[in-house]
Structure 1
Amino acid sequence: MDASSSSSSSSPAPVPDTPPRDAFPRNPGTVEDLHKQCLSLFPMFFEGAKVLVNKGLNNNFQVSHTMTLSSQQPSGYRFGATYVGSTMLSPTEAYPLLLADMDPSGNLNANIIHALSHRIRVKCLAQIQQSKWQSAQITTDYKGDLYTASLTLGNPDLINGTGVMVLHYLRAITRNLSLGSELAYQASPQLPGGHVAVLALAAKYATDDFTLAGTLGNAGSFHASFYQKCSDNLQVGVEMETNFKMQESTASLGYEFDLAKGGFLVRGSVDSNLTVKSVVEKKLLPLPFTLALCSMINHRKNQFQFGCGLIIG
């Protein structure tokens, strides 16, 4: 046997190509956040004047003071507090997370978010208005490798048998496609028959640059959204909500332009009802101030509103 045949026989067998890690499906998130990426682009409009002061007391605790003057929404002072725990599950996730704000009348909004493990998240929301317990909601999310299952209980009353229960399930079918469903059940003596259930189907197709999501319910409702990242500075989103029974449909277009180097941020939107909203935020460096200007005009009703805010801290 010659040397050439010996070397060829001892050469290792070729290794088949393995797909990159990003090619495999991953956790698709929750049904609740299906349209979150698109909706985050729309401006948070306010009317009148607002001053917000943020003060960090330490690495975990922060308080805020908000003064609002408006003819369209409740005016006055609100105190807020935020606590961020030291348990880090990722660079952007720290638990437990406690958020609350209250006005001098005792009206309170409180949120508690905690991770019982790497897969289980619990969210509790409570609202007190006019010295009465207004609403309570508990949500538990279980995140598997390829799916997320959620259970939400709203205003549960086991004695009277009333409340709302919502089940969510979203599973990754491929690297980009996710399918799921939503089941909402409500029990109340005011409802015909004492209870009602609504089933909805959900789907999401997402890449690194865009996300297309939609939900279709058996009650005749349809909700769709589209998100597109155009560049490092510009993002756009389109949302449409349709009620086939009421024969009503509304479409909205939103955008966000973020010029980080100049401390300049613009969010705007326009909908099919000819309502245009815009919010401009400018950081007043080197001071820790941010100036916010917002406006809203409804061409059909010939209405115009303006807001001015100052964020300190």
Structure 2
Amino acid sequence: MGNNIATLKTVKCEAVDPTIVPPPPPPGAVPGDVEGAPAVVQNPKFKDNPGTLEELHKKCKEVFPQPFEGAKVMINKGLNQGFQVSHSITLSSITPSGYRFGATYVGTQMVSATEPALVLMGEMDPSGNLNAQGVHFVNESCKLKFGTQILNSKFATYQFSGDWRGKDWTGSVAVVNPNLFSNSGIAVFHYLQSITSRIALGAELMYQQSPQIPGGAATLLSGSARFTGDSSVWSGYYGSNGFGLCYYRRLNEELQVGVEVENSYQHQQTVASLGYQFDIPKANFVMKAMVDTNWTVTGVFEKRLNPMPFTFALCGSLNHAKNQFRLGCGLTIGG
């Protein structure tokens, strides 16, 4: 059954090209959890809230570098307090090349001191291909999100989701690519509960309906857990499609490390990864690197060239087993 179920990651809309540092929000704005934007500062009213299930492994995942290939230049410009535009040019033999225009809008209405009611992000190329995402806080407890991808004048992906948070729990529901005419689509239900101040338990139920699936539909259930220590985080999940474990630890103010193990019954393989993040705030320097059991070594460093508003990024990735090497460099101006 697990072989027939597409995971939510495969259809997730990407609004921002992750090749280099994504554009920051306009000055003074605090966006929601739109892809490429900083996470919302936790509302004191929900200080015991465990967050969403899809953020369960966030601390560990953030340590690992996001590799990119080719060259890219991005120019960010804040037009006013809530609106920012970006222009980017990418040259690559792997990822789509060319010019892209992006825009970010943060509404002035706030549902709390740190949470804007509306955040919109989008990016379009000259052919009309569009990636867009949005977040709308109905109130302090309810957040609605949408994402879409348009390719060749057709909706390639569209997703609607909502998060409801209580004092010590969060429930989420997402609907991906629903189609009443072909009786297809994916529905995902998440629930995460704080058991203690350090322990959170959660569950995910994924339902997929499609004529290509034997019987017309399939269901996948998995459970998750997270333990938060003083300077470390343990998290994991187990389901009929595989299991995963993550470990994150902050060793000091400059160094963070993460270990991840992922097993897929569908692909019949287990991959372990070790990554670290090294920060030198006084030098405006960040280095991320990782190595995994597929014999891939990746490193990305970012350097802000003060006093100029420039950020330079350089990436190198080498797979020893396949003898493949990729190099990327990027420059962000503004922001």
TM-score w.r.t. structure 2 length? 0.83
1:63 to 85, 102, 113: 85
In structure 1, the partner of 2:210 is 188
- Aligned-pair distance for 1:160? 3.3
Q: How does 1:1-313 map to 2 (within 5 A)?
A: 26-89=48-111, 92-219=114-241, 221-244=242-265, 246-313=267-334
Q: Which of structures 1 and 2 has the bigger CA Rg? A: 1
Identity of aligned residues (%): 49
Say whether the 8 Å CA contact 1:25–1:175 is kept in structure 2.
Answer: no
1:62-88 residue CA offsets vs partner (Å, 9 max, x unmatched): 001110001121110111000011233
Counterpart CA distance in 2 for 1:139 and 1:50 is 32
- CA displacement at 1:143 relative to structure 2: 0.2
Give, in whole Å, the separation in 2 of the partners of 1:52 and 1:25. Answer: 36
Q: What is the rounded CA distance, in whole Å, between the counterparts of 1:180 and 1:285 in structure 2?
A: 44
Residues 241 and 249, structure 1, Cα contact 8 Å, conserved in 2: yes
Q: How far did residue 218 of structure 1 move? A: 2.0
Gaps (5+ residues) in structure 2? 1-43
Q: Give unpaired runs (5+ residues) of structure 1.
A: 1-21
Q: Which whole-Å CA distance do the structure 1 matches of 2:312 and 2:267 have between them? A: 41
CA contact under 8 A between 1:157 and 1:163: conserved in structure 2? yes
Q: Measure how far apart 1:90 and its partner are.
A: 5.2
| Local SS of the residue matching 2:212 | coil
| Residues 25, 172 of structure 1: 8 Å contact kept | no
C-alpha distance in structure 2 between counterparts of 1:127 and 1:34, whole Å:
25
Return closer, same or farther for 1:224/1:89 CA change in 2, 3 Å cut-off.
farther
**Residue 124 of structure 1: how far off its partner (Å):** 0.3
Question: Which secondary structure does the structure 1 equivalent of 2:127 belong to?
Answer: coil
Question: How far has the Cα of 1:92 moved from its partner?
Answer: 4.7
SS of residue matched to 2:282? helix
TM-score norm. by structure 1 comes to 0.89
User: How many Å separate the matches in 1 of 2:128 and 2:64?
Assistant: 30
Aligned-partner SS, 1:88:
coil
Distance in 2 (CA, whole Å) between partners of 1:290 and 1:265 is 11
Q: 1:90 to 1:207 in 2, by over 3 A?
A: farther
Residue by residue over 1:127-186, the C-alpha shift from the partner in whole angstroms, topping out at 9 and shown as x without a partner, is 101111111101110001111010100011234321100000110111101111100000
Partner Cα separation in structure 1 for residue 182 and residue 326 of structure 2: 44
- Look up the SS of the partner of 1:37 in the other structure: helix
Q: Distance in 2 between matches of 1:128 and 1:297?
A: 33
Instruction: Name the SS of the counterpart of 1:261 in structure 2.
Output: helix
Amino acid at match of 1:195: A
Instruction: Evaluate the alpha carbon distance shift between residue 245 and residue 77 of structure 1 in structure 2; reply closer, same or farther with a 3 A threshold.
Output: closer
- Displacement of 1:284 in angstroms is 1.1
- Give, as a single letter, the amino acid of the residue that structure 2 aligns with 1:41: V
User: Could you tell me which amino acid in structure 1 is paired with residue 194 of structure 2?
Assistant: A
Per-residue deviation, 1:42: 1.4
1:94 Cα offset (Å)? 2.3
- Alpha-carbon distance in 1 for matches of 2:146, 2:266: 33
Q: Which ranges of 4 or more aligned residues in structure 1 deviate by more than 6 Å?
A: none
2:29 paired residue number: none
Query: How much has 1:264 moved relative to structure 2?
Result: 0.7
